């Protein structure tokens, strides 16, 4: 029998965030063995045990199969032969599917959670994500909590769940509990944006004004964004051949120029980030619609919110004062401005 720390405690520990709840998973043990050690069993559909002293939760490693609609349509299997990797695989997101060996401190990360943490990406572990529609709301909540982007493949899977009517099987209490937690996060905009991006926002009628007038992005996005959704990163030469108007052509060009940097935005240098922002933003406005496109339809990883965060930092700079100071000191103004911008993003 071996015990590992799992889930949110490992994630938040790696992020250097305060850890509130600690969940443990026990591999290679039976309920009787834990009861004999003084653990107290709770939970009906699968056994969870409370530690005799700390009262922390210990669950037997398990696999889960969906057998019907909604939350109760599960069949849990928690034989002693269930491995740690199998238990981690049934979890929602890669960043939540890591474990820590309590003896050695080693992080067990079979699904790339550490990389996604570094890149700021929420990505489902496997198709088993679909087994619990509440996860659609969890993803939105984690986007708001961590200021992370959602991988396009996960948005796609979430959209399928919504389209198949899975959200309707959740009780209003569970939905509200999750949304209320999301509302408490700083970046509540990301909660709404994520729900909107997968079509789930409409499921929650109380939020009908969160994005007024937007039923779905094909109908309501700007023509530029719809165009980007349709053509993606097409060669601009092709657009020229078709005599596509410059606003549309420029949007595609802006996408082409920023795509690489956007993909690696979390790891981009301040200089690269400044370039991205100057290409995409004008007066707080996503002038080419590239960020909106990336958010709702781009087929690569990006975190548009970090871009906006950087934009706000750059906008807050008093560049007139920087220029004046450089001029007074007989320094090169362009260099001084660039240095101030780099410092703001460092």
Nearest distance in Å: CB 40, ligand CTP? 19
Rounded to whole angstroms, the Cα distance separating 339 from 323 reads 11
CB of 138 to ligand CTP, least distance (A): 6
**Judged by CB under 6 A, which stretch of 113-121, 129-137, 195-203, 318-326 contacts ligand CTP?**
129-137
Whichever of 24 and 248 has its CB closer to ligand CTP, that residue is: 24
Task: State the minimum distance, in angstroms, from the CB of residue 6 to ligand CTP.
Answer: 6
Read off the DSSP letter of residue 106.
P
Q: Which of 4, 248 has the CB closer to ligand CTP? A: 4
Contact 93/151 with Cβ under 8 angstroms? no
CA distances from 316 to 192, 281, 309, 330 (A): 26, 14, 11, 24
Helix (H, G, I), strand (E, B) or coil at 210: coil
Can you tell me the distance from the alpha carbon of 279 to that of 289, in angstroms, rounded to the nearest whole number? 11
Greatest distance between any 2 Cα atoms in the chain: 80
Q: Is 132 in the site for ligand CTP (CB under 6 A)?
A: yes
Give yes or no for residue 135 binding ligand CTP (CB under 6 A).
Answer: yes
Q: Residue 275: which residues within 8 A CB-CB, separation 6 or more?
A: 258, 261
Q: How far is the CB of 15 from ligand CTP (least distance, A)?
A: 11
Min dist. Cβ of residue 346 to ligand CTP (A):
29
Integer CA distances (angstroms), 3 to 24, 103, 138, 147, 283, in order: 7, 9, 26, 31, 53
162 vs 224, which CB is nearer to ligand CTP?
162
Nearer to ligand CTP, 141 or 288 (CB): 141
Q: Which is nearer to ligand CTP, 138 or 306 (CB)?
A: 138
Candidates 96, 194, 253, 303; binder of ligand CTP (CB under 6 A) is 96
Q: Quick one: tokens of 93?
A: 């997101």
CA-based Rg of the chain, rounded to a whole angstrom? 24
**Measured from the CB of residue 287, what is the shortest distance to ligand CTP in angstroms?**
35
Contact map string, positions 15 to 54, toward ligand CTP, x by CB under 6 A: ------x-x-------------------------------
Q: Could you tell me which of 88, 203, 186, 91 has the C-alpha nearest to residue 138?
A: 91
Assess 182 for contact with ligand CTP (CB under 6 A): no
Site for ligand CTP in 239-278 (CB under 6 A): none
Interatomic CA distance for residues 190 and 155, integer angstroms: 13
| CA–CA gap between residue 334 and residue 124 (Å, rounded) | 44
In the complex, least distance from residue 23 CB atom to ligand CTP, rounded to whole angstroms: 5
Contacting residue, 5, 26, 91, 201, with ligand CTP by CB under 6 A: 91
Which residues would be at the binding site for ligand CTP (CB under 6 A)?
7-8, 21, 23, 91-92, 96-97, 132, 134-135, 138
């Amino acid at each position: 029998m071996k015990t590992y720390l799992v889930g949110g405690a490992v994630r938040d520990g790696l992020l250097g965030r305060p850890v509130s709840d600690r969940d443990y998973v026990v591999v290679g043990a039976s309920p009787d063995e834990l009861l004999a050690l003084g653990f107290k069993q709770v939970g009906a559909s699968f056994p969870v045990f409370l530690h005799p002293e700390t009262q922390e939760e210990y669950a037997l490693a398990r696999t889960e199969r969906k057998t019907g609609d909604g939350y109760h349509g599960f069949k849990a299997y928690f034989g002693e032969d269930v491995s740690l990797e199998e238990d981690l695989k049934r979890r929602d997101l890669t960043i939540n599917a890591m474990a820590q060996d309590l003896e050695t401190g080693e992080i067990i990360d079979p699904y790339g959670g550490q990389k996604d943490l570094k890149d700021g990406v929420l990505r489902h572990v496997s198709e088993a994500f679909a087994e619990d529609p509440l996860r659609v709301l969890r993803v939105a909540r984690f986007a708001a909590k961590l200021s992370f982007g959602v991988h396009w493949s996960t948005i796609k899977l979430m959209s399928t769940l919504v389209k198949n009517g899975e959200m309707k099987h959740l009780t209003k209490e569970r939905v509200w509990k999750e949304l209320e937690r999301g509302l408490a996060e700083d970046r509540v905009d990301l909660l709404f944006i994520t729900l909107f991006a997968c079509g789930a926002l409409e499921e929650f009628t109380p939020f009908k004004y969160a994005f007024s007038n937007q039923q779905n992005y094909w109908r309501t996005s700007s023509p530029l964004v719809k165009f980007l959704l349709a053509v993606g990163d097409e060669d601009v030469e092709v657009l020229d051949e078709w005599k596509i108007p410059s606003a549309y052509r420029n949007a595609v060009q802006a996408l082409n120029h920023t795509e690489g940097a956007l993909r690696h935005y979390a790891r981009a240098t301040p200089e690269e980030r400044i370039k991205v922002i100057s290409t995409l933003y004008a007066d707080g406005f996503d002038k080419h619609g590239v960020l909106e496109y990336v958010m709702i339809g781009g087929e690569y990883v990006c975190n548009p919110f970090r871009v906006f965060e950087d934009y706000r930092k750059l906008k807050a700079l008093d560049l007139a004062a920087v220029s004046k100071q450089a001029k007074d000191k007989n320094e090169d103004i362009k260099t001084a401005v660039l240095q101030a911008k780099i410092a703001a993003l460092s």
